[in-house]
Protein backbone atom coordinates (compact mmCIF):
# COMPACT_ATOMS: atom_id res chain seq x y z
CA UNK A 1 0.00 0.00 0.00
CA UNK A 2 1.23 3.45 -0.90
CA UNK A 3 0.23 6.39 1.32
CA UNK A 4 1.15 9.94 0.35
CA UNK A 5 1.18 12.37 3.28
CA UNK A 6 1.05 16.10 2.52
CA UNK A 7 2.18 18.19 5.45
CA UNK A 8 4.11 21.29 6.54
CA UNK A 9 5.94 19.05 9.08
CA UNK A 10 7.22 15.90 7.34
CA UNK A 11 9.86 15.35 10.04
CA UNK A 12 7.10 14.58 12.57
CA UNK A 13 6.36 11.34 10.71
CA UNK A 14 9.85 9.86 10.48
CA UNK A 15 10.13 8.32 13.97
CA UNK A 16 6.66 6.79 13.71
CA UNK A 17 6.95 5.47 10.16
CA UNK A 18 10.56 4.28 10.36
CA UNK A 19 10.48 2.52 13.74
CA UNK A 20 9.08 -0.78 14.92
CA UNK A 21 6.19 -2.43 13.11
CA UNK A 22 5.59 0.25 10.48
CA UNK A 23 9.33 0.47 9.75
CA UNK A 24 9.49 -3.29 9.27
CA UNK A 25 6.47 -3.17 6.93
CA UNK A 26 8.31 -0.55 4.88
CA UNK A 27 11.47 -2.71 4.78
CA UNK A 28 9.38 -5.68 3.60
CA UNK A 29 7.92 -3.52 0.82
CA UNK A 30 4.34 -3.89 2.10
CA UNK A 31 3.94 -0.25 3.09
CA UNK A 32 5.31 2.78 1.24
CA UNK A 33 4.73 6.07 3.06
CA UNK A 34 5.79 9.09 1.00
CA UNK A 35 6.14 12.45 2.71
CA UNK A 36 5.54 15.63 0.73
CA UNK A 37 6.40 19.01 2.22
CA UNK A 38 3.64 21.42 1.16
CA UNK A 39 6.02 24.35 1.63
CA UNK A 40 8.11 23.06 -1.30
CA UNK A 41 5.17 24.05 -3.53
CA UNK A 42 4.88 27.62 -2.32
CA UNK A 43 5.51 30.14 -5.09
CA UNK A 44 5.62 33.04 -2.65
CA UNK A 45 9.00 34.78 -2.27
CA UNK A 46 9.03 33.96 1.47
CA UNK A 47 7.87 30.36 0.94
CA UNK A 48 4.60 31.14 2.72
CA UNK A 49 1.92 28.49 2.78
CA UNK A 50 -0.65 30.27 4.99
CA UNK A 51 -2.41 33.62 5.15
CA UNK A 52 -5.06 35.53 7.14
CA UNK A 53 -8.65 34.33 6.74
CA UNK A 54 -11.05 36.37 4.59
CA UNK A 55 -13.79 37.62 6.88
CA UNK A 56 -11.45 37.79 9.85
CA UNK A 57 -11.73 35.61 12.88
CA UNK A 58 -8.07 35.24 13.79
CA UNK A 59 -5.64 32.45 13.17
CA UNK A 60 -4.20 31.46 9.80
CA UNK A 61 -5.51 29.42 6.89
CA UNK A 62 -3.37 27.23 4.63
CA UNK A 63 -3.43 28.64 1.09
CA UNK A 64 -4.88 26.69 -1.82
CA UNK A 65 -2.00 27.05 -4.32
CA UNK A 66 0.81 25.19 -2.47
CA UNK A 67 -1.62 22.40 -1.57
CA UNK A 68 -2.83 22.14 -5.20
CA UNK A 69 0.80 21.86 -6.29
CA UNK A 70 1.52 19.17 -3.72
CA UNK A 71 -1.63 17.20 -4.63
CA UNK A 72 -0.84 17.41 -8.37
CA UNK A 73 2.71 16.16 -7.67
CA UNK A 74 1.35 12.93 -6.12
CA UNK A 75 -1.23 12.37 -8.89
CA UNK A 76 -4.05 12.81 -6.38
CA UNK A 77 -6.79 13.10 -9.05
CA UNK A 78 -6.62 9.32 -9.46
CA UNK A 79 -6.70 8.66 -5.68
CA UNK A 80 -8.82 9.02 -2.59
CA UNK A 81 -7.86 12.19 -0.73
CA UNK A 82 -8.40 12.22 3.02
CA UNK A 83 -8.33 15.41 5.07
CA UNK A 84 -7.76 15.05 8.82
CA UNK A 85 -10.22 17.46 10.44
CA UNK A 86 -12.23 17.88 13.64
CA UNK A 87 -15.25 18.40 11.33
CA UNK A 88 -14.88 14.96 9.77
CA UNK A 89 -16.72 11.72 10.40
CA UNK A 90 -15.18 10.00 13.40
CA UNK A 91 -12.80 7.18 12.49
CA UNK A 92 -14.01 3.69 13.35
CA UNK A 93 -13.03 0.08 12.60
CA UNK A 94 -15.39 -0.03 9.59
CA UNK A 95 -13.66 2.93 7.89
CA UNK A 96 -10.23 1.48 8.78
CA UNK A 97 -11.15 -1.84 7.13
CA UNK A 98 -12.39 0.02 4.03
CA UNK A 99 -9.12 1.96 3.69
CA UNK A 100 -7.05 -1.19 4.28
CA UNK A 101 -8.46 -2.56 0.96
CA UNK A 102 -7.01 0.32 -1.11
CA UNK A 103 -3.75 0.22 -3.09
CA UNK A 104 -3.08 3.87 -2.36
CA UNK A 105 -4.52 7.03 -0.88
CA UNK A 106 -3.45 10.56 0.04
CA UNK A 107 -3.65 12.21 3.47
CA UNK A 108 -3.70 16.00 3.72
CA UNK A 109 -2.70 17.43 7.10
CA UNK A 110 -4.00 20.88 7.94
CA UNK A 111 -2.47 23.25 10.47
CA UNK A 112 -3.59 26.50 12.08
CA UNK A 113 -7.33 26.91 11.35
CA UNK A 114 -7.25 24.41 8.48
CA UNK A 115 -7.04 24.76 4.72
CA UNK A 116 -8.81 26.95 2.14
CA UNK A 117 -12.20 25.32 1.49
CA UNK A 118 -11.56 25.32 -2.29
CA UNK A 119 -8.91 22.61 -1.79
CA UNK A 120 -11.48 20.29 -0.22
CA UNK A 121 -14.18 21.11 -2.79
CA UNK A 122 -11.97 20.71 -5.88
CA UNK A 123 -10.23 17.52 -4.78
CA UNK A 124 -13.34 15.92 -3.29
CA UNK A 125 -11.55 15.33 0.00
CA UNK A 126 -13.11 13.00 2.55
CA UNK A 127 -12.87 14.57 6.01
CA UNK A 128 -11.99 12.19 8.82
CA UNK A 129 -11.66 12.98 12.55
CA UNK A 130 -10.01 10.81 15.19
CA UNK A 131 -12.28 12.18 17.93
CA UNK A 132 -14.09 15.22 19.27
CA UNK A 133 -11.12 17.36 20.21
CA UNK A 134 -8.92 19.89 18.44
CA UNK A 135 -5.15 19.51 17.98
CA UNK A 136 -2.62 21.98 16.58
CA UNK A 137 -2.36 20.01 13.36
CA UNK A 138 -3.61 17.01 11.40
CA UNK A 139 -0.23 15.21 11.69
CA UNK A 140 -0.98 13.21 14.85
CA UNK A 141 -4.43 12.21 13.55
CA UNK A 142 -2.78 11.14 10.25
CA UNK A 143 -0.36 8.92 12.18
CA UNK A 144 -3.26 7.36 14.09
CA UNK A 145 -5.02 6.66 10.79
CA UNK A 146 -1.88 5.21 9.17
CA UNK A 147 -1.14 2.94 12.13
CA UNK A 148 -4.72 1.66 12.38
CA UNK A 149 -4.90 0.89 8.64
CA UNK A 150 -1.38 -0.56 8.38
CA UNK A 151 -1.97 -3.21 11.05
CA UNK A 152 -4.79 -4.68 8.93
CA UNK A 153 -2.58 -5.16 5.85
CA UNK A 154 -1.54 -8.82 5.55
CA UNK A 155 2.08 -9.30 6.63
CA UNK A 156 2.37 -6.11 8.69
CA UNK A 157 1.73 -7.78 12.04
CA UNK A 158 3.57 -10.96 12.95
CA UNK A 159 1.42 -14.03 13.42
CA UNK A 160 1.83 -13.57 17.17
CA UNK A 161 -0.06 -10.29 17.43
CA UNK A 162 -2.23 -10.89 14.38
CA UNK A 163 -5.29 -8.68 13.98
CA UNK A 164 -7.24 -11.92 13.43
CA UNK A 165 -6.92 -12.71 17.12
CA UNK A 166 -9.31 -9.90 17.91
CA UNK A 167 -12.01 -10.78 15.43
CA UNK A 168 -13.08 -13.97 17.23
CA UNK A 169 -15.42 -12.17 19.62
CA UNK A 170 -15.29 -8.86 17.79
CA UNK A 171 -17.74 -6.38 19.13
CA UNK A 172 -16.62 -7.01 22.72
CA UNK A 173 -13.83 -5.40 24.72
CA UNK A 174 -10.70 -7.48 25.18
CA UNK A 175 -10.33 -9.73 28.22
CA UNK A 176 -7.49 -9.05 30.74
CA UNK A 177 -4.02 -10.33 29.81
CA UNK A 178 -1.30 -11.83 32.03
CA UNK A 179 2.29 -12.97 31.53
CA UNK A 180 5.14 -14.29 33.69
CA UNK A 181 5.58 -14.53 36.62
CA UNK A 182 2.57 -16.53 37.83
CA UNK A 183 2.69 -14.69 41.16
CA UNK A 184 3.75 -11.03 41.42
CA UNK A 185 3.73 -9.21 44.79
CA UNK A 186 1.15 -11.64 46.09
CA UNK A 187 -1.13 -11.27 43.04
CA UNK A 188 -1.84 -14.55 41.22
CA UNK A 189 -2.63 -15.15 37.57
CA UNK A 190 -6.17 -16.61 37.27
CA UNK A 191 -5.71 -20.37 37.62
CA UNK A 192 -7.69 -21.30 34.51
CA UNK A 193 -5.12 -19.56 32.28
CA UNK A 194 -2.36 -21.90 33.47
CA UNK A 195 -4.58 -25.01 33.49
CA UNK A 196 -3.88 -26.04 29.90
CA UNK A 197 -7.63 -26.63 29.35
CA UNK A 198 -8.20 -24.68 26.15
CA UNK A 199 -11.99 -24.98 26.19
CA UNK A 200 -12.15 -23.54 29.71
CA UNK A 201 -9.66 -20.82 28.81
CA UNK A 202 -11.77 -19.75 25.81
CA UNK A 203 -14.92 -19.65 27.97
CA UNK A 204 -13.13 -17.65 30.68
CA UNK A 205 -11.98 -15.10 28.09
CA UNK A 206 -15.51 -14.81 26.72
CA UNK A 207 -16.94 -14.28 30.20
CA UNK A 208 -14.36 -11.63 31.07
CA UNK A 209 -14.95 -9.81 27.78
CA UNK A 210 -18.71 -9.88 28.35
CA UNK A 211 -18.46 -8.57 31.95
CA UNK A 212 -16.10 -5.77 30.99
CA UNK A 213 -18.19 -4.77 27.98
CA UNK A 214 -21.44 -4.79 29.99
CA UNK A 215 -19.91 -2.50 32.61
CA UNK A 216 -17.99 -0.08 30.38
CA UNK A 217 -19.76 -0.15 27.03
CA UNK A 218 -23.43 -1.09 27.52
CA UNK A 219 -24.07 -0.02 23.90
CA UNK A 220 -21.65 -2.64 22.54
CA UNK A 221 -22.94 -5.22 25.03
CA UNK A 222 -26.59 -4.85 23.95
CA UNK A 223 -25.59 -5.12 20.29
CA UNK A 224 -23.58 -8.28 20.98
CA UNK A 225 -26.26 -9.99 23.06
CA UNK A 226 -28.93 -9.28 20.45
CA UNK A 227 -26.93 -11.51 18.06
CA UNK A 228 -26.46 -14.43 20.47
CA UNK A 229 -28.56 -16.79 18.32
CA UNK A 230 -27.04 -15.82 14.94
CA UNK A 231 -25.91 -18.45 12.46
CA UNK A 232 -22.60 -18.65 10.59
CA UNK A 233 -22.49 -18.45 6.77
CA UNK A 234 -22.68 -22.27 6.59
CA UNK A 235 -25.81 -22.39 8.75
CA UNK A 236 -24.09 -23.67 11.89
CA UNK A 237 -24.65 -21.79 15.14
CA UNK A 238 -22.31 -18.88 15.86
CA UNK A 239 -22.01 -19.86 19.53
CA UNK A 240 -21.81 -23.27 21.16
CA UNK A 241 -24.15 -24.29 23.99
CA UNK A 242 -21.39 -23.58 26.54
CA UNK A 243 -20.83 -20.13 25.04
CA UNK A 244 -24.54 -19.31 25.09
CA UNK A 245 -24.71 -20.37 28.75
CA UNK A 246 -21.94 -17.91 29.56
CA UNK A 247 -23.66 -15.15 27.57
CA UNK A 248 -26.91 -15.76 29.49
CA UNK A 249 -25.13 -15.86 32.87
CA UNK A 250 -23.35 -12.49 32.51
N1 LIG B 1 -9.97 15.39 15.75
C2 LIG B 1 -8.32 16.59 14.41
C3 LIG B 1 -7.84 16.83 13.15
C4 LIG B 1 -7.08 17.97 12.91
C5 LIG B 1 -6.84 18.86 13.96
C6 LIG B 1 -7.07 21.29 11.96
C7 LIG B 1 -9.35 22.42 10.86
C8 LIG B 1 -7.75 22.27 12.67
C9 LIG B 1 -8.04 17.48 15.43
C10 LIG B 1 -8.67 21.41 10.17
C11 LIG B 1 -8.90 22.83 12.10
C12 LIG B 1 -7.54 20.85 10.73
C13 LIG B 1 -9.14 15.36 14.70
C14 LIG B 1 -5.85 20.65 12.55
N15 LIG B 1 -7.31 18.57 15.20
N16 LIG B 1 -6.16 20.03 13.82
O17 LIG B 1 -9.04 14.39 13.98
Q: What pLDDT shows up at residue 162? A: 64
- Evaluate: CB of 7 within 6 angstroms of ligand 1: no
- Evaluate: CB of 114 within 6 angstroms of ligand 1: yes
How many whole angstroms separate alpha carbon 124 and alpha carbon 118? 10
- Evaluate: CB of 131 within 6 angstroms of ligand 1: yes
Q: Are the C-beta atoms of 127 and 91 separated by less than 8 Å?
A: no
| Ligand 1 atom 10 nearest Cα | 114
Q: What pLDDT shows up at residue 61? A: 97
Distance from Cα 32 to the centre of ligand 1, integer Å: 24
| Ligand 1 atom 14 nearest Cα | 137
Cα–Cα nearest to 74, from 120, 41, 115: 41
Q: What pLDDT shows up at residue 113? A: 87
Q: What pLDDT shows up at residue 31? A: 97
How many whole angstroms separate alpha carbon 143 and alpha carbon 16? 7
- Out of 141, 145, 146, 147, give the residue to mutate to test ligand 1, the one with the largest number of ligand atoms within 8 Å of its CB: 141
Ligand 1, residue 141: give the atom nearest the CA: 17
Q: What pLDDT shows up at residue 112? A: 80
Cα–Cα nearest to 34, from 13, 15, 20, 19: 13
Q: What pLDDT shows up at residue 160? A: 55
How many whole angstroms separate alpha carbon 132 and alpha carbon 236? 41
Distance from Cα 137 to the centre of ligand 1, integer Å: 6
How many whole angstroms separate alpha carbon 159 and alpha carbon 52? 50
Note down pLDDT in tens along the chain; length 250 residues. Answer: 999 999 999 999 999 999 889 999 999 999 999 999 999 999 999 999 999 999 999 999 999 999 999 999 999 999 999 999 999 999 999 999 999 999 999 999 999 889 999 999 999 999 999 999 999 999 999 999 999 999 999 999 976 556 655 655 579 999 999 999 999 999 999 999 999 999 999 999 999 999 999 999 999 999 999 999 999 999 999 999 999 999 999 9
Amino acid sequence: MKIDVLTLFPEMFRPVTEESILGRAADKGILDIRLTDIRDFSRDKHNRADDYPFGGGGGMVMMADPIFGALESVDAKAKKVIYMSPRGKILDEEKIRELAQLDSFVILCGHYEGVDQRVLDYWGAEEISIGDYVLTGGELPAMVLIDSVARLIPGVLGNEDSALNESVYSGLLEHPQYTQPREYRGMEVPEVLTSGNHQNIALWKLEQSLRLTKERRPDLYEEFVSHRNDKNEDGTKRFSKAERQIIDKV
